[in-house]
Amino acid sequence: MKIDSNGNLILGTTVILITTLLLMAIFVFTAINYIENENIDSSENDNFKYVIDDYTRNLEVLGRSSINDATEWVYHTYKLSDSRGEIKKNLEKKLDKENEKFEEKYDMKISSEVLSVENTDSPWKILFKVKLNIEKNNNRYSKIVEKNASIEGLKDPLPVAKLSVASGIYKQGDKLNYKNALTRYLKLRNLESPFSYAFATTPQFIKKCPYDPYIHHGDPGVLKDCLKNGYFHESADGSCYLCRLEGKAVCPHYGMEVFIQTHTPLTNGSVSCSDHVVFHDHYNGEKLNKYDFDSLILDSSHRKKYGLGGEDDGQ
Ligand SMILES: [Zn+2]
Ligand SMILES: [Zn+2]
């Protein structure tokens, strides 16, 4: 009995000792790892920094291409109710492939997670946030990489998201021709002079108008050039690119607007031609020049914004 209890005592002490040592070892190991992670950025590994820079540059290209995939999806008659989610999914797929390439190129383990697709202060840029995990020789490093991608040059998804490709909208050079789709749309809503918008045109590709401040559109030749090039304009009332993908003509984000150009002999007033007005706000405007078939139909507040105040100003 005595030997047994002594044996128990020794066994007990040993177990406690081993447990304590084990816990200490785990603690030390975790602490070292933590310190390593903290220091990597500054000292040890310029290598990681190089990889992250390379990765970030790629993110801009892949982000933009992920937006473009969503746009093409809309142009192929699909409806998007969550454009951010769709773009996120597209980007995740692209990054999975990219990670493999990076693993080979840099001989590291790389994984990533797309955290968000967000609006920015500028309607021309979308912000991507990605969590990047890199591992090499037991060094682990995590960083949230952020990059803006431009939407300039991409197609405007709003016309097809709003009216669908089946509505008859067709490509005409670098513009879209609404054919009878807008007339039908305005007629359905009992808006004034729907036939003014028969065969109206709109730019297909997002281009930022260089005539800034916009009041210069009243200067000789400017409006004509703006329409010829199909420029888009910043607008607090118009919708952002991500909401355009969902077929929304207005949204809470800082967005853009574009003139839908009518080509009509009709001279009566109709819906003002800024796209957020045609598709959502529905207030009326008058032709800038009654005798010009290609004249814009504009309300007074847009005339003011673009410096097109007078009856015969502009074109
Ligand atoms: Zn312009
Ligand atoms: Zn929006």
Q: Distance, CA 60 to ligand 2 centroid (Å)?
A: 20
- 238 alpha carbon to ligand 2 midpoint, in Å? 9
Segment of 48-62, 129-143, 265-279 carrying the highest mean pLDDT: 265-279
Report CA(126)–ligand 1 centroid distance (Å): 22
CA of 122 to the centre of ligand 2 (A): 12
Global model pTM greater than 0.85: no
**Exposed (0-12), middle (13-18) or buried (19+): which is 27, by Cβ within 10 Å?**
exposed
Average pLDDT score over residue span 240-258: 98
For 86-138, the pLDDT digits (tens) are 999 999 999 999 999 999 988 999 999 999 999 999 999 999 999 999 998 88
pLDDT value at 34 more than 70: no
Q: How far is the CA of 163 from the centre of ligand 1 (A)?
A: 24
Distance 257 CA to ligand 1 centre (A): 10
Ligand whose nearest atom lies closest to the CA of 120: 2
Residues surrounding ion ligand 1 at CB below 5 Å: 209, 211, 226, 231
Q: How many A from CA of 149 to the centre of ligand 2? A: 16
- Work out the mean pLDDT of the chain and round it to a whole number: 91
Phi, psi (rounded to 5 degrees) for 126: -115, 135
Total count of residues recorded for the chain: 315
Cα-to-centroid distance, 57 and ligand 2 (Å): 26
pLDDT at 27: 81
Contacts of 46 (CB under 8 A, 6+ apart): none
Question: With helix as H, strand as E and coil as C, how does 170-236 read?
Answer: EEECCEEECCCHHHHHHHHCCCCCHHHHCCCEEECECCECCCCCHHHHHCCCHHHHHHHHCCEEEEC
Please report which confidence band the pLDDT of residue 310 belongs to, taking 50, 70 and 90 as the band edges: low
